[in-house]
Amino acid sequence: MMLIDYLDRGARIAPDAPCMTLPDGTTLSTHAEFHQLTHRIAAAFLSNGFKPGDRVAVYSPNDADAFACVVATIRAGGVWTPVNVTGREDETGGFLHLVGCTRLIYHGSLAGRVPALLARVPSIRSVVSIGRGRDDDPMLSDWIAPAGTLCADQPADTERLAMLAPTGGTTGAPKAVPITHRQLVLMCLAHNVHFPEQQPPRYICATPMTHAAGMAAFPVLAEGGQVIIHQGVTAVDIFESIQLNQATRIFLPPTALYALLAHPDVRTRDFSSLCYFLLAAAPIAPERLAEAVEVFGPVMTQLFGQAEAPFVCTVLTREEIADAAANLKHRGRLASCGRQTAAARVEIMNDLGDLLGPGEQGEIVVRSDLVFGGYWNNPEASTETRRPGGWHGTGDIGYRDEDGYIYILDRKKDIIITGGFNVFPSEVEAVLHTFPAVNDCAVIGIPDDKWGEAVTAVIETKPGQTLDPDQAIVACKQALGSVKAPKSIEFRDLPRSPAGKVLRRKLRDEYWVHRDRKV
């Protein structure tokens, strides 16, 4: 099945149901209207020299017409090159140049950024604005094909590219990940298997929908559900929207969840309509996950995947999280990213290529049709991800317990080696997150003449709250021992990616900039 065949299912089963809506309940389009709009945009592509495989970037804040352009790109046989509007312009331009982007559709509010972006991406030969943009750029409303126009189906080839996605760049310069129609359909079907709802889902889309949040919207479209479009993660707006729209699912990174939990009104709101609070993109501190169950109910769900194997390699279900939060016997499972999904086999492998048994630490590896075939024009980096037996190496270190739950200890490149001992930052961060004043934290190794690296914690506190660093260090020593406890604690803002991930590697590099070696 091609991705567009899957997405069109919503218009077939629920043509008159709301598709794109605003937080105040206003319906922007029904499924039939959204379906027709994507046909008109796709037809305009094809009548303006578009060729299958053309790369299209949609550069916009969250907007229904912008997301229609994403779906229209797929309908016309193009390749969606997702960009995060909150990202730095040089990074966005660098990625679009890397993949040879040929077409840019931008929101008129971003017109001032377009000249610099075009200067970085000379391959772009067609520019269209959503709303009024630069004087010479056609507006989408004038450019699209006439009402009633239908775009002919493209030939079926499930191995054809649907996306070229950035890796995220948390451990270095972003690479481009080719993602096929096969991978995306399998990802969506795994969503359907693991997150069923009795009624069509109502999804709060608050993070960039021209990026990962848009992928999370694909299964909602196919189920005839409703995408509630928010402009960023604003706690009060999300609280009110959940209640007003009776939202059933929301997808956020842990950092955004922390912001919601920190809001003083969060425990006074009604979240009873929620079925799934989907967490992905980064590990979450167990104590915060237990708090989230207390606040939002038995709906918290943790996903693990990568751009290289999108989204659903493992899942810690809402039932498992609720049980672990309430049952001391299973409390440790809150530190897990769950068990393998219906779409992937997940194992632990040592450096010799041997699969390991329960409790043994090694690299988390995946074998699945979700896995990509290699980075775009980067065979050297592609080779680094391949493991014996056809396994994909995630670069994450972890272990599996006797019940099949996978635990991520850390990225291979983030391990701290202090005095010859290995320290996984996530272990220390989990202890620090038990302090109510901690909003977020990152543990790194900084240069030390005696130990090589000294374990150091960098902490963001919640507004108006303070933390006694000596007390925090003592708690870490009691929980983990002296070797793993921070030698010092600093308080400051943490560097983040556009998706909200803490950039531990960038933070670490600040402390090693004047050193010849990085270990």
Going along the chain from its start, the domains and CATH numbers come out as 3-232 (3.40.50.12780), 415-512 (3.30.300.30)
pLDDT > 90 fraction of the chain, expressed in percent and rounded:
79
Q: Beta-carbon neighbour count of residue 108 at 10 Å?
A: 16
Give the mean pLDDT of 295-299.
98
pLDDT tens for 394-408 read 998 899 999 999 998
DSSP letter assigned to residue 112:
G
Average pLDDT along the chain:
92
Give the mean pLDDT of 279-300.
90
369 pLDDT more than 70: yes
pLDDT at 372: 96
175 pLDDT more than 70: yes
CA distance 273 to 242: 7
pLDDT at 211: 86
pLDDT at 517: 41
Is residue 247 within 8 A of residue 278, CB to CB? The reply is no
Which H or E element spans position 416?
A: strand 416-418
CA distance 337 to 330: 14
Strands, DSSP E only, in 295-413?
Answer: 300-306, 309-316, 339-340, 345-349, 362-367, 386-387, 391-400, 406-411
**Long-range Cβ contacts of 472-477 (<8 Å, 24+ apart):** 472/432, 472/435, 475/431, 475/434, 475/435, 476/428, 476/431, 476/432
The amino acid occupying position 281 is A
pLDDT tens for 13-37 read 999 999 999 999 999 999 999 999 9
pLDDT tens for 99-150 read 999 999 999 999 999 999 999 999 999 999 999 999 999 999 999 999 999 9
Q: Which residue has the higher pLDDT, 149 or 516?
A: 149
Q: Strand pairing of 226-229 and 18-21?
A: parallel
Give the mean pLDDT of 47-75.
96
Range of 171-175, 239-243, 281-285, 408-412 with top mean pLDDT = 239-243
pLDDT tens for 31-41 read 999 999 999 99
Is residue 279 within 8 A of residue 334, CB to CB? The reply is no
Q: Strand pairing of 276-279 and 300-306?
A: parallel
pLDDT at 168: 55
pTM of the full structure: 0.84
DSSP letter assigned to residue 355:
B
Give the mean pLDDT of 155-180.
83
Give the mean pLDDT of 354-360.
97
Mean pLDDT lowest among 131-135, 171-175, 436-440, 501-505: 171-175
pLDDT at 514: 61
Give burial (CB, 10 Å; 0-12/13-18/19+) of 328: exposed
pLDDT at 515: 54
Is residue 252 within 8 A of residue 301, CB to CB? The reply is no
Estimate to the nearest angstrom the gap between the alpha carbon of 153 and the chain centroid: 30
pLDDT at 504: 84
94 pLDDT more than 50: yes
430 pLDDT more than 60: yes
Of 354, 361, 340, which Cα lies nearest the Cα of 403? 340
pLDDT tens for 210-238 read 988 899 999 999 999 999 999 999 999 99
Give the mean pLDDT of 244-266.
93
